[in-house]
């Protein structure tokens, strides 16, 4: 039994190590290939404090369950399903990067640049945000691969909430850059994140942080109704954005 558990843990942990190494190394190398080494920093590895904490906690869960509930880790049908999700998520995300090329960025662009184009073909013709979708699938897949029930649920909830807030914010700016073309595309193509739909007219509180809104209030008339005000004028939106982000 001990030998079986040793083989199980070695296989699962080695798969995780290879998956994590490939993901981050390829993100960094592709960023260099797309944007040039001079424009890429260590941040392109996508290793944040929150990410490290999540991975450490997931490893702690794995080791505790391996000790107290060893049979839980020996479910290869579940573990192999996780491995397939890791491969699927990685494939979707890398297709997104390769398809978008210079238009792909790890940072939300608030100002339009020459290389920033609306990509609607390839993987983007099926999924509106394949980079986010791929990362969600990859991350949750790593925890299913380890047979970590707590971390699987936690990763899914936390990442869904993150993208649920990030996508409307990003699409607000995409609407400024590409107008009706983006509206038509966003209404036609699924976001790639469950239950995250496109809103062609944005509510301010759904796009801006409280800090940004504190600057926004004096810029519009009838501030008493600001929490319900909708932005449907591209001219008004552009003036507001410039006022906010130049402060």
Which of 174, 177, 197, 175 has the alpha carbon at shortest distance from 187?
A: 197
Please report, for residues 181, 199, 214, 216, the alpha-carbon distance to residue 117 in angstroms, rounded to integers and kept in the order given.
Answer: 11, 21, 31, 28
Give this prediction's pTM.
Answer: 0.80
- 95 within 8 A of 28, measured Cβ to Cβ: no
Tell me whether strands 230-231 and 202-203 are parallel, antiparallel or unpaired. antiparallel
pLDDT at 97: 95
Structure confidence at residue 44 (pLDDT): 82
Structure tokens at 38: 């001079």
Question: Among positive and negative, which fits the CA dihedral 20, 21, 22, 23?
Answer: positive
Residue 194 main-chain phi, psi, to 5 deg = -55, 135
pLDDT, residue 149, reads: 97
Contacts of 154 (CB under 8 A, 6+ apart): 54
pLDDT by residue for the chain (247 residues), tens digit each? 565 566 788 899 999 999 999 999 999 999 999 888 888 888 888 889 999 999 999 999 999 999 899 989 999 999 999 999 999 999 999 999 999 988 888 877 777 777 678 999 999 999 999 999 999 999 999 999 999 999 999 999 999 999 998 898 888 888 888 888 988 999 999 999 999 988 765 555 555 555 555 555 554 443 333 333 444 444 455 545 555 555 4
Quick one: tokens of 161? 């909430």
Q: Which two tokens stand for residue 168?
A: 């409307």
- How far is 56 from 234, CA to CA, in rounded Å? 44
Backbone angles phi, psi at 209, to 5 degrees: -75, 165
Give the model's pLDDT for residue 117: 85
């Amino acid at each position: 039994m001990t030998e079986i558990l040793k083989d199980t843990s070695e296989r699962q942990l080695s798969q995780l190590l290879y998956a994590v190494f490939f993901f981050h190394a390829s993100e960094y190398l592709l960023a260099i290939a797309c944007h040039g080494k001079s424009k890429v920093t260590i941040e392109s590895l996508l290793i944040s404090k929150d990410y490290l904490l999540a991975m450490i906690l997931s490893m702690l869960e794995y080791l505790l369950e391996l000790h107290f509930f060893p049979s839980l880790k020996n479910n290869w049908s579940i573990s192999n399903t996780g491995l397939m999700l890791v491969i699927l998520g990685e494939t979707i995300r890398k297709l997104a990067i390769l398809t978008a090329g210079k238009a792909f960025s790890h940072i939300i662009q608030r100002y339009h640049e020459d290389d920033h184009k609306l990509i609607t073909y390839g993987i983007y013709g099926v999924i509106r945000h394949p980079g986010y979708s791929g990362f969600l699938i990859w991350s949750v897949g790593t925890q299913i691969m380890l047979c970590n029930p707590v971390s699987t649920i936690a990763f899914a909830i936390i990442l869904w909430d993150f993208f649920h807030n990030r996508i409307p914010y990003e699409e607000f700016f995409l609407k400024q850059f590409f107008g009706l073309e983006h509206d038509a595309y966003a209404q036609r193509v699924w976001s790639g994140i469950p239950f995250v739909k496109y809103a062609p007219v944005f509510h301010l509180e759904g796009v801006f942080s409280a800090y940004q809104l504190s600057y926004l209030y004096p810029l519009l008339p009838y501030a008493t109704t600001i929490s319900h005000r909708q932005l449907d004028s591209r001219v008004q939106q552009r003036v507001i954005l410039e006022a906010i982000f130049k402060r």
